């Protein structure tokens, strides 16, 4: 179906427009993300309340607190260090690349801890009742979204280090274009930190 | 356009165009997708075997899911979706455009031109739409006998399930994907969508979802209908995995489409396009998008849980192991009911957009119509438990959900009245798009009125699971959305492709579709009242004559859709006639552009100067000033999206 044709010439993209797109897009994505995890919150309370056949949480289904605490600390630290990096980036200060690198390392640590949590759990998915289902489902879903956050941090770091010119923004310092992305990423990380807090409180603290 | 401010796309992307066959394209995608499936299946079987030793999990399910996941990765890899993320990992800068320089091959790969994506959507969605329609023909063929004759009971259930799921999945994408992607950027005066790669990704995920769903036939089918109820879903064969995976792909696609649409409208409106000048079709897309962004993620989470139940033996929906099937019911219908409005709201938008053009008078009650759409969207999140009236809902909650369900008829009724008010004393032109709009009102009225009975607990308990429900939602979805979609096809497709549609064939299509749609589904309201159950191929022999009549009508309805197909092939491929720039004398911005619309949409970003519905208004200013230079040099977008 041949349709549109014509001279393919484009005006340079307005950095302010790109920033607005990213800001709005990030917030919408966070809304969608929140609803994914709200489904797990709902599942937690629903299955706990229903307690089918008394099998919501058999006695042996206790997660390892050390993993839970370590994961939560790393999640919060990733978000906090990233915020420091973002402030350095916005203020044109030094050290933001180092901060991004630390944030990335912490982010990867979260992924490793989540995988270890699942592999070393003292209960399996099939004999742990409703609780085990929520535990396995939620932790794995959290890991998937967190991998997205880690990818985002990595791209910012790589772009900041290489500083290659941007074809669609001739003459613009590529680092300036990182600011809206960093702002978006920090909001996403903040959201994931809240989700991480929920994970810890619901799955590790509530009996 | 000043040379200093423009750059060729090749220069922007910084890439040399490779020979099409060696570049990313759908051929590679299919090859890598198939290869990926077998690789994933092999790996999944190994993992499943390991789990099997511990948990007695069904290793086939693990293998099937792993196959689908690796197939998806391979498919997207072949289309070129991983090139950009990998380049970003390596620190290369962000770019927006990709695959726009590939001539006809851009239709067969990742392309960031919104007009190309829209046409890809059109072809892809309509292919699966016809597959779903073919399933309906098989269903009606079976129902010409009062006992199972052509298909075994299980195969019949799979046919019904495939039909329902395919139609729901594809109709969600039909308006937003094909028409939303093409029209929204142009209607808001932009050159692209906010996130062009995401736009293309949503298309290919939709196509893949259709293929994966069809693969259910080879995996033993699935018996649950489109609702996928547990615990039946836990007990079903491998086809259920295809249902879960394909619906999850659609959920992701739908949420991303919604996100992209909202971001585009919020940030990329041309100067002067204030909120009260936004075309009502765009409002329909926005309200739909809000639902998609918020409801589809819950569906995704529910399907994820279902997949876990079937692979690693969690028990989200298994009461014998601490779960609950009502958890699925709640999560599914939290998405499922808004989904009905994800289908309906774009239909409202299309009809209200077209009525002023063919009545030559302004849209009556524009703001009320927009408020009505938001009212429908908001209330659609508060009614889902009416689907559980007969399946475990606390009896004390029934009145509340009955009330909210009946409440939603108010904004819907308002939108309906806005349409009638626009028709009132208009100079009506009975073109084919207008005929479909008028049929929409007739059908949707029947659909809406039959819905009132289903919102009422006593009558719902009586008719639940019967053909009355089936006829009701076909009147709303097919009689509403699909008729509106047909209006959109005849109205906008010539603009989109640059070639006219045959008017005689279009009229034959309309009359055939309208008459036989009603002759098919109106008697089914009666069949439901007489107790004929859904999803069962056997029925009381006393209903045989009625069913033979309905099936005959359904076959003729199917034949009318073939007329559309013939028209599309004839006028868009075989005997092309260039379309006029503005055949309907529309004031809408897309019809002020040449046909075909240039690749970059506008030489200059237009300045919107008035509302788009000033038909019949003396001395009405033009809708947009296309010669104005808003902003200097090019990036002509109002500072805060629309305020000039």
Q: Are residues B336 and B409 in the same domain?
A: yes
- Tokens matching residue B120: 């890809």
**Which residue among A50, A56, A124 sits closest to B55, beta carbon to beta carbon?**
A124
In this predicted structure, the answer to whether residue B638 has a pLDDT above a threshold of 60 is no
pLDDT higher than 90, residue B394: no
User: Of all residues in chain A, what percent carry a pLDDT higher than 70?
Assistant: 94
Average pLDDT over residues B167-190: 94
Cα A9 from Cα B3, distance rounded (Å): 9
Which of 25-64 (A) contact B at CB < 8 A? 25, 28-29, 31-33, 35-40, 42-43, 46-47, 50-53, 55-58
Residues of B in contact with A31 (CB under 8 A): 293-294
pLDDT over 70 at B145, yes or no: yes
Tell me whether residues B331 and A126 touch, CB distance under 8 A.
Answer: no
- In a 3-state reduction of DSSP, which class is residue B195? coil
Are B162 and B26 in the same domain? no
> B127 and B81 in one domain?
no
> Would the pLDDT of B433 be above 90?
yes
pLDDT band at A126 (very low <50, low <70, confident <90, very high): confident
Rounded-to-integer distance, Cα B348 and Cα B281, Å: 8
Sign of CA dihedral B121, B489, B131, B177: positive
Nearest to A136 among B11, B312, B326 (CB): B312
The whole-number pLDDT of residue A153 equals 97
Within a domain: B296? yes
Beta carbons of A138 and A198 less than 8 angstroms apart: no
Q: Where are the beta strands (DSSP E) in chain A?
A: 9-10
Confidence of residue B392 (pLDDT cuts 50, 70, 90): confident
| A148: contact with B, CB 8 A cutoff | no
Give the model's pLDDT for residue B227: 95
Do B146 and B61 belong to one domain?
no
| pLDDT bucket at B155, cuts 50 / 70 / 90 | very high
Residue B632 has pLDDT above 70, yes or no: no
Q: Which of A125, A164, A166 sits opposite B313 (nearest CB)?
A: A125
pLDDT one-digit tens code per residue, B192-226? 999 999 999 999 999 999 999 999 999 999 999 99
**pLDDT value at residue B15:** 56
Q: Tell how strand B624-625 and strand B607-608 pair up.
A: antiparallel
Q: Tell me the C-alpha distance between A175 and A178, whole Å.
A: 5
A132 touching chain B per CB within 8 A: yes
Same domain, B134 and B46: no
Residue with more model confidence, B59 or B155: B155
- Report pLDDT for B342: 93
CB pairs under 8 A between A and B: 257
Mean pLDDT computed over every residue of chain A: 91
Question: Would you state the pLDDT for residue B16?
Answer: 59
Residue B86 domain boundaries? 18-93
Q: What share of chain B is helix, strand, coil (3-state, %, to 5)?
A: 70, 0, 30
Picking from B67, B2, B488, B81, the residue whose alpha carbon sits closest to that of residue B284 is B488
Stated as kind and residue range, the H or E segment containing B625 is strand B624-625
What is the per-residue DSSP string for B36-86? HHHHHHHHHHHHHHHHHHHH---HHHHHHHHHHHHHHHHHHHHHTTTHHHH
State the sign of the Cα–Cα–Cα–Cα dihedral A136, A137, A138, A142.
Answer: positive
Exposed, middle or buried by CB within 10 Å (0-12, 13-18, 19+), for B530? Answer: middle
Beta strands B7-8; B607-608: pairing state = unpaired
Within 8 A by CB and 6+ apart from B152, the residues are none
Has residue B3 got a pLDDT over 50? Answer: no
Phi–psi pair at A3, nearest 5 degrees:
-135, -95
- In DSSP terms, B7 is beta-bridged to A10
Q: What is the pLDDT of residue B639?
A: 37
> Which residues is B466 bridged to in the sheet?
B533
Taking CA atoms, what residue in A is nearest to B573? A1
How many alpha carbons fall within 13 Å on the CB side of residue B491?
A: 29
- Return the number of other C-beta atoms located less than 10 Å from residue B231's C-beta: 17
3-state secondary structure of B415: helix
B323 → closest Cβ in A8, A47, A181: A47
Backbone angles phi, psi at A9, to 5 degrees: -120, 140
Structure tokens at B104: 């006809």
**Which two three-digit tokens encode residue A86?**
């973002």
Given a cut of 90, is residue A168 above it in pLDDT?
no
Q: Is B607 helix (H, G, I), strand (E, B) or coil?
A: strand
Which H or E run includes B511?
A: helix B503-529
d(CA A165, nearest CA chain B) in Å = 7
What CATH number is attached to the domain comprising B142?
Answer: 1.20.210.10
Mean pLDDT of all residues belonging to chain B? 91
| Rounded distance between C-alpha atoms, residue A72 and residue A63, angstroms | 14
Instruction: Report CB contact under 8 Å: A28, B259.
Output: yes
- B23 located within any domain: yes
H or E segment and range at residue B410? helix B409-423
**Residue B23 and residue B167 in one domain:** no
CB B172, CB B250: distance < 8 Å? yes
pLDDT at A4: 43
Last residue of a domain, which of B518, B540, B574? Answer: B574
CA B229 from centroid of its chain's CA atoms: 22
Mean per-residue pLDDT for A114-140? 94
Q: What is the pLDDT of residue B260?
A: 97
B586 in any annotated domain: no
Q: Do B306 and B246 sit in the same domain of this protein? A: yes
Q: Any bridge partners for residue B509, and if so which?
A: none
Does some domain include residue B257? yes
Tell whether the model's pLDDT for residue A25 goes beyond 50.
Answer: yes
Partner-chain contact A124 B54, CB within 8 Å: yes
Predicted local confidence at residue B58, as pLDDT: 53
Which of these, A28, A39, A194, A141, lies nearest to B291 by C-alpha position? A28
E strand map for B217-354? none
Q: Which helix (H) or strand (E) holds B568?
A: helix B544-569
Measure the CA–CA gap between A169 and A13, rounded to whole angstroms.
7
Asked whether the ipTM of the predicted complex exceeds the cut of 0.90, the reply is yes
Location of structure tokens 């808003």: B630
Supply the pLDDT for residue B391: 84
The pLDDT tens digits of the residues spanning B226-273 come to 999 998 998 899 999 999 999 999 999 999 999 999 999 999 999 999
In terms of pTM, does the model score above 0.90? yes
Q: Does residue B634 have a pLDDT over 60?
A: no
Same domain assignment for residues B126 and B22: no
- Domain end marker among B555, B574, B593: B574
| B214 shares its domain with B181 | yes
Rounded distance, CA B154 to CA A67, Å?
47
Task: State the greatest distance between any 2 C-alpha atoms of chain B, in Å, as a whole number.
Answer: 80
Q: Spell out the alpha helix ranges (H) of B80-195.
A: 83-89, 114-142, 153-173, 181-187
Arithmetic mean of pLDDT, B383-388: 90
CB B2 within 8 A of CB B86: no
User: Directed axis angle between helix B114-142 and helix B153-173, to 10°?
Assistant: 150
Residue B473 belongs to some domain of the structure: yes
Nearest to B210 by CA among B263, B132, B103: B132
Closest CA–CA distance from residue B11 to any residue of chain A (Å): 7
Q: Judge whether A154 is closer than 8 Å to chain B, CB to CB.
A: yes
What share of chain B in percent tops pLDDT 70?
93
Q: Is the Cβ pair A159, B93 closer than 8 Å? A: yes
φ, ψ for residue B363, nearest 5 deg: -65, 125
Higher pLDDT, B184 or A4: B184
Residue B3 lies in a domain: no
Between the alpha carbon of residue A82 and those of residues A136, A153, A192, B375, B555, the distances in Å are 28, 8, 13, 40, 62
Look at residue B641 in the predicted model and tell me its pLDDT. 37
Per-residue pLDDT tens over the stretch B499-545: 999 999 999 999 999 999 999 999 999 999 999 999 899 999 999 99
* Residue B143: closest CA among B443, B470, B464: B470
Give the 3-state secondary structure of residue A9: strand
Residues B137 and B70 in one domain: no
The pLDDT assigned to B7 comes to 46
Mean local confidence (pLDDT), B300-320 = 95
Distance CA B497, CA A99 (A): 51
State which of B544, B574, B604 marks the end of a domain: B574
**Domains of chain A as residue ranges with CATH:** 64-205 (1.20.120.80)
Q: Is the domain of B156 the same as that of B23? A: no
Mean pLDDT of B143-170: 94
From B382, B369, B479, B450, select the one nearest B414 (Cα to Cα): B369
Domain count of the fold of chain B: 2
- Do B7 and A28 count as a contact with CB atoms less than 8 A apart? no
A24 vs B88, B263, B316: nearest CB: B263
Can you give the pLDDT at residue A207? 79
Q: What is the mean pLDDT of residues B105-124?
A: 94
Cα(B562)–Cα(B493) distance, rounded to whole angstroms?
A: 17
B352 in a structural domain: yes
Predicted pLDDT at B4: 36
The b/e string for B162-179 (b: 16+ C-beta within 10 A; e otherwise) is bbbbbbbbbbbbbbbbbb
Q: In which band, very low, low, confident or very high, does the pLDDT at B338 lie, cut at 50, 70 and 90?
A: very high
Q: B595 lies in a domain?
A: no
Q: Summarize pLDDT for A54-76 with one digit per residue, the tens.
A: 999 999 899 999 999 999 999 99
CB B367 within 8 A of CB B317: no
What was the pLDDT predicted at B642? 39
Q: Are B490 and B432 in contact (CB under 8 A)?
A: yes
Residues B83, B175 within the same domain: no
- Rounded CA-CA distance B479/B213 in Å is 25
CB atoms within 10 A of CB A161: 12
Write down the number of H helices and E strands in chain B: 21, 3
pLDDT value at position B9?
Answer: 47
Share of chain B above pLDDT 90, in %: 82
Residues of A in contact with B315 (CB under 8 A): 55, 126, 129-130, 132-133
Largest interatomic CA distance in chain A: 70
More confident position, A149 or A168:
A149
Mean pLDDT calculated for residue range A22-35 = 97
Q: Is B578 helix (H, G, I), strand (E, B) or coil?
A: strand
User: B298–A36: do the CB atoms touch at under 8 Å?
Assistant: yes
Q: Which of A128, A133, A166 sits opposite B94 (nearest CB)?
A: A166
């Amino acid at each position: 179906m041949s349709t549109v044709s014509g001279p393919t010439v484009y005006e340079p993209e307005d950095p302010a427009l790109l920033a607005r797109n990213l800001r709005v897009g990030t917030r919408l994505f966070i809304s969608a993300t929140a609803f994914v995890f709200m489904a797990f919150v709902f599942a937690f309370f629903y299955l706990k309340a229903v307690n089918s056949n008394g099998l919501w949480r058999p006695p042996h289904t206790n997660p390892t607190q050390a993993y839970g605490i370590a994961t939560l600390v790393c999640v919060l630290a990733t978000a906090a260090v990233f915020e420091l990096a973002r402030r350095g980036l916005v203020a044109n200060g030094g050290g933001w690349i180092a901060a991004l690198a630390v944030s990335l390392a912490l982010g990867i640590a979260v992924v490793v801890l989540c995988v270890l949590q699942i592999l070393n759990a003292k209960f399996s998915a099939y004999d742990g009742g409703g609780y085990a289902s929520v535990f396995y489902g939620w932790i794995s879903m959290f890991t998937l979204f967190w991998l997205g956050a880690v990818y985002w941090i990595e791209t910012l770091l790589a772009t900041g280090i290489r500083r290659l010119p941007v074809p669609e923004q001739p003459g613009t310092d590529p680092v300036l274009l990182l600011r809206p992305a960093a702002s978006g990423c920090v909001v996403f990380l903040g959201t994931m930190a809240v989700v991480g807090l929920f994970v810890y409180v619901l799955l590790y603290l509530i009996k | 356009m000043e040379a200093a401010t423009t750059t060729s796309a090749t220069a922007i992307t910084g890439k040399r165009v490779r020979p099409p066959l060696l570049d990313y394209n759908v051929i590679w995608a299919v090859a890598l997708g198939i290869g990926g499936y077998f690789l994933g299946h092999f790996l999944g079987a190994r993992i499943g075997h390991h789990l099997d030793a511990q948990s007695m999990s069904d290793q086939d399910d693990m293998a099937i899911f792993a196959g689908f996941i690796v197939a998806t990765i391979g498919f997207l890899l072949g289309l070129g979706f991983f090139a950009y993320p990998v380049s970003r990992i390596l620190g290369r800068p962000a770019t927006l455009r990709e695959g726009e320089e590939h001539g006809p091959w851009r239709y067969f790969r990742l392309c960031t031109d919104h007009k190309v994506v829209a046409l890809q959507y059109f072809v892809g969605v309509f292919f699966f739409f016809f597959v779903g329609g073919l399933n309906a023909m098989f269903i009606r063929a079976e129902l010409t006998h009062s006992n199972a004759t052509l298909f075994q009971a299980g195969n019949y259930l799979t046919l019904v399930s495939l039909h329902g799921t395919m139609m729901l999945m594809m109709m969600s994408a039909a308006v937003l994907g094909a028409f939303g992607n093409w029209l929204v950027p142009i209607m808001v005066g932009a050159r692209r969508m906010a996130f062009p790669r995401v736009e293309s990704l949503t298309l290919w995920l939709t196509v893949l979802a259709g293929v994966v769903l069809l693969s259910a036939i080879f995996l033993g089918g699935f018996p649950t209908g489109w609702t996928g109820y547990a615990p039946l879903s836990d007990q079903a064969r491998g086809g259920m995995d295809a249902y879960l995976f394909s619906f999850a792909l659609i959920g992701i696609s739908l949420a991303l489409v919604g996100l992209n649409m909202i971001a585009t409208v919020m940030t990329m409106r041309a100067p002067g396009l204030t909120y009260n000048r936004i075309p009502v079709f765009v409002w329909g897309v926005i309200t739909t998008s809000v639902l998609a962004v918020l409801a589809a993620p819950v569906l995704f989470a529910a399907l994820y849980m279902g997949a876990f139940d079937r692979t690693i033996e969690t028990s989200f929906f298994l009461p014998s192991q601490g779960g609950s099937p009502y958890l699925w019911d709640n999560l599914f219908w939290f998405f499922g009911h808004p989904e009905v409005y994800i289908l309906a709201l774009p239909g409202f938008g299309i009809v209200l957009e077209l009525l002023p053009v063919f009545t030559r008078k302004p849209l009556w009650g524009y703001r009320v119509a927009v408020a009505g759409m938001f009212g429908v969207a908001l209330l659609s999140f508060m009614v889902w438990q009416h689907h559980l009236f007969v399946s475990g809902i606390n009896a004390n909650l029934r009145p509340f959900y009955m009330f909210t369900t009946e409440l939603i008829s108010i904004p819907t009724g308002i939108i309906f009245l806005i349409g009638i008010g626009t028709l009132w004393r208009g100079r009506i032109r009975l073109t084919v798009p207008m005929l479909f709009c008028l049929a929409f009102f007739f059908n949707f009225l029947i659909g809406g009125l039959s819905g009132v009975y289903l919102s009422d607990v006593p009558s719902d308990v009586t008719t639940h699971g019967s053909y009355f429900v089936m006829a009701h939602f076909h009147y709303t979805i097919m009689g509403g959305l699909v008729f509106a979609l047909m209006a959109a096809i005849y109205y906008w497709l010539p603009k989109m492709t640059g070639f006219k549609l045959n008017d005689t064939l279009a009229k034959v299509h309309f009359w055939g579709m309208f008459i036989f749609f009603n002759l098919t589904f109106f008697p089914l309201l009666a069949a439901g009242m007489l107790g004929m159950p859904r999803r069962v191929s056997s029925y009381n022999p006393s209903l045989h004559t009625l069913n033979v009549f309905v099936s005959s009508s359904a076959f003729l309805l199917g034949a009318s859709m073939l007329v559309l197909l013939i028209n599309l092939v004839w006028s868009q491929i075989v005997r092309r006639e260039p379309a006029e720039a503005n055949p309907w004398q529309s004031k809408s911005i897309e019809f002020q552009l040449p046909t075909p619309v240039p690749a970059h949409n506008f030489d200059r970003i237009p300045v919107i100067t008035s509302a788009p519905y000033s038909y019949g208004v003396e001395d009405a200013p033009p809708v947009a000033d296309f010669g104005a230079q808003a902003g200097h040099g090019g990036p002509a977008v109002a500072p805060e999206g629309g305020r000039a």
